[in-house]
């Protein structure tokens, strides 16, 4: 691992070098079956239970293309403003690795199904940056290796390795950008924003669950540096399989500072793959990076070419949903949001959650307050994504309805939400089990008010003298006595009546 002492200050990096990025994003499609066989495409099965002769690469087994995967590839290409090939074919990418049962990967090389597109991404300040897409091509995923006995889960130092071929043959789309230049100091931010926008787009297309924590969306980040007066790109490194949005940003930033330190010291950058360490935010050397020639690509002899008709392509274009940025523009107008409020929603990953809460009966302001304020803090404290919290938009809408009906105060509502998050059941069940319903019975409230007035005679006298603002102290005492379950508005009315 590169030490902190070998890194250049980021401001100096930007002063001396221009970064060049290239992002390769692998997307696992959530088709029912694998890319070239009928095995189930399901995450998390027992090791080596979702396999057959085809995805294990056994002699005599022949592949058959998954039509749904081709359809998804075309829809992704269209959403990325790509041209769709009228004719393309698969190729064999030859290399050996234990989790590659055939010793080659069925992929696409010089004839991808989609090419020459772009994606406009929104940066943190609301400005747009266009990322040009080189290609989006179809391929199959590899199996998984589990290295046991080492300190970091990698093969070096491991005592033995276990292989699970369930993932072998799962449909993949690899989306490759053209070189991304002109980012300057915002290069790490651009990388994160691009992967974020791509994830949102793929989710809207409903072609993948885009779970980075489960590997269904993975980013390989290529980084190189050019001296300010250079005419050619520098040597790049490729940080493999970065699996969170924050990590994409951190990996790019780290590589920029590491490479700059090497170059400033008179060294050279090795073209290699690197591994990102989530715990340190640094990268470590993997293996020397192969070139296309090393893979010995040749056309796949067991699969016929893919030739989507123009009619089918246009039919698929008609199935594209409202794209995430179009939807955001629409909800911003419908909900009367400022640009800053919309950015807060987007950055919190809350647009869809707020929209679903509104559809369930809440107002946009109420829904936004819950998801962006309280629930975002809960997600952060529990170490999960907002959408992975154990509460649904419908449940939040029901909590809001209970508040509006006067059955819960805002404080009690938060307790109800906490109960739902802790697995105590539906909101109404939590209210019942915890005894959280607002006390609105006048006889119970009158007793609490009388006790509070008796305990603070000086305050009571001020209220009787017309200083009604002093009633706040009595309201607070009653709320404390009733553990926050009193109807504060009714309490205040009773206090004024008692002192008049």
pLDDT recorded at residue 195: 96
Burial track 250-271 (b if 16+ CB lie within 10 A, e otherwise): bbbbbbbbbbbbbbeeeeebee
| C-alpha–C-alpha distance, residues 223 and 244, integer Å | 17
pLDDT, residue 279, reads: 85
Sheet with 298-299: list strands edge to edge.
104-107, 91-94, 298-299
Supply φ then ψ for residue 115, to 5 degrees: -160, 160
* Cα(390)–Cα(385) distance, integer angstroms: 10
Contact present, 10 and 28 (Cβ < 8 Å): no
Smallest CA-to-CA distance from 165 within 54, 48, 34 is with 48
Residues whose CB is less than 8 angstroms from the CB of residue 339 and which lie 6 or more positions away in sequence, other chains included: 126, 332
Helical (H) or strand (E) element with 439: none
Instruction: DSSP for 83-94, please give it.
Output: EEPSSB--EEEE
Tokens of 351: 């647009």
Say if CB 378 and CB 389 are below 8 A apart: yes
Q: Give dist(CA 479, CA 456) in Å, integer.
A: 15
Distance CA 397, CA 263 (A): 56
Q: Which stretches of 123-202 are assigned E, i.e. beta strand?
A: 128-140, 144-148, 160-164, 171-177
pLDDT of residue 223: 97
Residue with tokens 């809460």: 357
HSE-CB at 356 with a 13 A cutoff on CA atoms is 13
The model's pTM is: 0.81
**Distance separating alpha carbons of residues 31 and 221, to the nearest angstrom:** 26
Q: Which of 281, 216, 236, 217 is nearest to 254 (CA)?
A: 281
pLDDT at 431: 83
Amino acid 444: pLDDT? 58
Q: Which of 206, 175, 196 is nearest to 80 (CA)?
A: 175
d(CA 249, CA 180): 14
Q: How far apart are CA 117 and CA 389, in angstroms?
A: 35
pLDDT for position 391: 93
Give the residue carrying structure tokens 């906490």. 418
Cα-only R_g, the chain: 29
At CA 158, angle to CA 153 and CA 161, rounded to 5? 85
Distance CA 153, CA 253 (A): 24
In a structure prediction context, what are the per-residue pLDDT tens digits for the chain, which is 500 residues long? 444 448 999 999 999 999 999 999 999 999 999 999 999 999 888 999 999 999 999 999 999 999 999 999 999 999 999 999 999 999 999 988 788 888 899 999 999 999 999 999 989 888 899 999 999 999 999 998 888 877 666 666 778 889 999 999 999 999 999 999 999 999 999 999 999 999 999 999 999 999 888 889 999 999 999 999 898 999 999 999 898 999 999 999 999 999 999 999 999 999 999 999 888 899 988 877 666 677 899 999 999 999 999 999 999 999 999 988 888 889 999 999 998 888 888 888 899 899 999 999 999 999 999 999 899 999 888 888 888 888 999 999 999 999 888 778 788 889 889 999 999 999 999 888 877 766 555 565 666 667 777 777 777 777 777 777 777 777 677 667 666 666 666 667 667 777 76
Q: How much is the pLDDT for 3?
A: 43
Pairing of strands 91-94, 237-242: unpaired
Go through 1-33 and write b for each residue having 16 or more CB atoms within 10 A of its CB, e for each that does not.
ebeeeebbeeeebbeebbbbbbbbbbbbbbbeb
């Amino acid at each position: 691992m590169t030490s902190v002492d070998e890194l250049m200050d980021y401001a100096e990096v930007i002063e001396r070098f221009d970064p060049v990025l290239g992002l390769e994003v692998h997307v696992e499609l959530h088709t029912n079956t694998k890319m070239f066989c009928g095995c189930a495409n399901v995450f998390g099965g027992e090791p080596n239970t979702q396999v057959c002769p085809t995805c294990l690469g056994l002699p005599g087994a022949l592949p058959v293309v998954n039509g749904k995967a081709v359809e998804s590839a075309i829809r992704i290409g269209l959403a990325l403003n790509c041209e769709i090939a009228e004719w393309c074919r698969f190729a064999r990418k030859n290399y050996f690795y234990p989790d590659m049962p055939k010793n080659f990967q069925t992929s696409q090389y010089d004839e991808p199904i989609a090419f020459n597109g772009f994606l406009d991404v929104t940066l943190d300040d609301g400005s747009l940056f266009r990322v040009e897409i080189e290609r989006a091509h179809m391929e199959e995923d590899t199996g998984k290796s589990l290295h046991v006995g080492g300190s970091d889960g990698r093969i070096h130092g491991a005592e033995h390795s276990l292989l699970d071929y369930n993932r072998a043959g799962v449909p993949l789309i690899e989306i490759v950008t053209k070189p991304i230049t002109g980012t300057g100091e915002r290069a790490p931010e651009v990388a994160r924003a691009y992967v974020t926008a791509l994830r949102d787009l793929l989710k809207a297309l409903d072609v993948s669950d885009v779970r980075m924590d489960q590997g269904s969306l993975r980013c390989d980040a290529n980084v190189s540096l050019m001296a300010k007066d250079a005419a050619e790109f520098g040597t790049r490194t490729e940080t493999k399989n970065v699996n969170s949005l924050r990590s994409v940003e951190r990996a790019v930033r780290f590589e920029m500072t590491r490479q700059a330190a090497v170059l400033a010291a008179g060294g050279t950058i090795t073209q290699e793959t690197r591994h990102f360490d989530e715990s340190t935010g640094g990268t470590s050397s993997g293996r020397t990076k192969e070139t296309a020639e090393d893979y010995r690509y040749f056309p796949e002899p067991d699969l016929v070419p893919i030739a989507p008709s123009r009619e089918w392509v246009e039919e698929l274009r008609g199935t594209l949903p409202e794209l995430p940025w179009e939807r955001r523009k629409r909800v911003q107008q419908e909900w009367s949001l400022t640009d800053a409020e919309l950015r807060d929603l987007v950055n919190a990953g809350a647009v869809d959650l707020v929209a679903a809460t509104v559809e369930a009966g809440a107002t946009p302001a109420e829904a936004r307050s819950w998801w962006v304020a309280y629930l975002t803090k809960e997600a952060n404290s529990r170490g999960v994504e907002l959408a992975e919290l154990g509460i649904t938009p419908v449940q939040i809408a029901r909590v809001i309805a209970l508040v509006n009906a006067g059955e819960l105060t805002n404080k009690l509502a938060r307790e109800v939400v906490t109960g739902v998050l802790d697995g105590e059941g539906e909101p109404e069940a939590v209210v019942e089990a915890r005894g959280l319903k607002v006390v609105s019975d006048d006889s119970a409230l009158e007793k609490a008010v009388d006790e509070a007035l008796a305990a603070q005679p000086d305050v009571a006298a001020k209220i009787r003298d017309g200083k009604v603002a002093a009633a706040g102290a009595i309201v607070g005492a009653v709320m404390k006595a009733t553990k926050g379950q009193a109807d504060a508005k009714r309490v205040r009315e009773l206090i004024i009546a008692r002192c008049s």
